Amino acid sequence: MSKRPKPLILQKYEALTPRIPQNFPRLSEIQYELAKSHKGYIGEIKVDYYLSMLAQRYTILPDVCLKVNGQTFQIDNLLITDHAIYLIEVKNYNGKIIFNTILNQFTRDDGENETGFHHPITQVEFQQIKLQNWLQERSLLNRPIYYLIAISNPETIIEVIGNQEAIAKVVARGEHIPKKIMDIEQSLTDRSTLPHQKLGYEIKRECINFDKDIMAKHGVKMSDLLPGVQCPECGRLGMERIYANWLCPRCNKHSKHAHKRAIYDYLLCSGNAISNKECMRFLKINSRSLATRLLQSSNLAYQKEHKIWIKLK
Ligand SMILES: [Zn+2]
């Protein structure tokens, strides 16, 4: 089982949030999205722990993102066996969640408010259809696709109004997912001619990195961002360059490489390119040649015709 990398969107929010000025009108919306994607990632790692029990038998692909008919779709986990494919979505909810099968409605009650949410089963059904289409286009649709919803927070209370059995078939706490998969596997007898490793390889080969322009989403421009090198110790922006070191005027921390994080953050926000001039402004340094040296040592490639530095693949 390959280790789950930190999602690009979460990396982007981590880079962006500390650089948004306190008086930026949409700051709280950005902070909310950061907290949400961080919580989602932690939940996914919790469920990975349980899924890893099956990693020796089957192919498990975390964070699968594919394109079909010009649309991108993303799946938290794909588990592939010789008999079937399991699409496992991880959901993180506080408080109580209520599935109402009579009204086909899904709500969450956090003790204060009852809020309507996108129905997680409808969402996962759409993903199932998209995955079916993707496989069909490549003549790889040769085993059934099941879906499961893993509730990652052990404190979430799951309530069902109506058909409990139907919900229990697809919704379970993270720790119960492996047993659910094993039970379905035992009921299946048809074996595909394409081994799970091969199908896993075919899917992985076409996976793309799920991306979103979060700057545009929240109406942030590069010029809105607070410049400065961030102190790895206390988080303050504005380390000062003293000789060949960065020094934090608040906590006195020294760092040789703190600029790398700042340059990386800039690239995450800007869409992968930085000019020498922008680097000087962003790191708050006055020397052109120092900027060039720092960019050179940051694993970037220089594009002469556009006079910019871009991230190496
Ligand atoms: Zn500091």
Statement: residue 241 has pLDDT above 90: yes
CA of 82 to the centre of ligand 1 (A): 53
Instruction: Please tell me the predicted confidence (pLDDT) of residue 2.
Output: 65
Over its C-alpha atoms, the chain yields an Rg (Å, rounded) of 23
Q: Under a CB-based contact definition with an 8 Å cutoff, are residues 125 and 147 in contact?
A: yes
pLDDT band per the 50, 70, 90 thresholds, residue 184? very high
CA of 7 to the centre of ligand 1 (A): 27
CA of 233 to the centre of ligand 1 (A): 5
Cα 51 to Cα 1, 65, 174: the distances in Å are 9, 19, 8
Cα 242 to Cα 80, 238, 248, 277: the distances in Å are 54, 12, 10, 20
CA of 29 to the centre of ligand 1 (A): 27
On average, the pLDDT of the chain sits at: 94
Per DSSP, 57 falls in state T
Instruction: Please tell me the predicted confidence (pLDDT) of residue 1.
Output: 62
Tens-digit pLDDT profile for residues 254-305: 999 999 999 999 999 998 899 999 999 999 999 999 999 999 999 899 999 9
Place of tokens 């006195």: 252
CA of 250 to the centre of ligand 1 (A): 5
CA of 255 to the centre of ligand 1 (A): 10
Statement: residue 63 has pLDDT above 90: yes
CA of 269 to the centre of ligand 1 (A): 23
Instruction: Please tell me the predicted confidence (pLDDT) of residue 313.
Output: 67
Cα 224 to Cα 23, 39, 138, 205: the distances in Å are 11, 26, 45, 38
Per-residue tokens: 213: 């322009």
| Arithmetic mean of pLDDT, 182-201 | 94
CA of 239 to the centre of ligand 1 (A): 8
Query: Please, which residues have CB within 8 angstroms of residue 121's CB and are 6 or more apart in sequence?
Result: 99, 106, 149, 170, 171
Q: Under a CB-based contact definition with an 8 Å cutoff, are residues 89 and 103 in contact?
A: no
Query: Please, which residues have CB within 8 angstroms of residue 277's CB and are 6 or more apart in sequence?
Result: none
pLDDT band per the 50, 70, 90 thresholds, residue 110? confident
CA of 191 to the centre of ligand 1 (A): 59
Statement: residue 126 has pLDDT above 80: yes
CA of 238 to the centre of ligand 1 (A): 9
Please report, in angstroms and rounded to a whole number, the separation of the first and last CA atoms in the chain.
23
Angstrom distance (rounded) from CA 16 to CA 225: 8
pLDDT band per the 50, 70, 90 thresholds, residue 64? very high
**Domain ranges (residues) in the chain:** 8-205, 227-311
CA of 230 to the centre of ligand 1 (A): 8
For residue 262, which phi and psi values (nearest 5 degrees)?
A: -65, -40
Q: Please, what's the largest Cα pairwise distance for the chain?
A: 70
Query: Please, which residues have CB within 8 angstroms of residue 95's CB and are 6 or more apart in sequence?
Result: 108, 109, 110, 111, 156, 157
Q: Residue 160, Cα to own-chain centre: how many angstroms? A: 29
Q: Residue 170, Cα to own-chain centre: how many angstroms? A: 23
CA of 258 to the centre of ligand 1 (A): 11
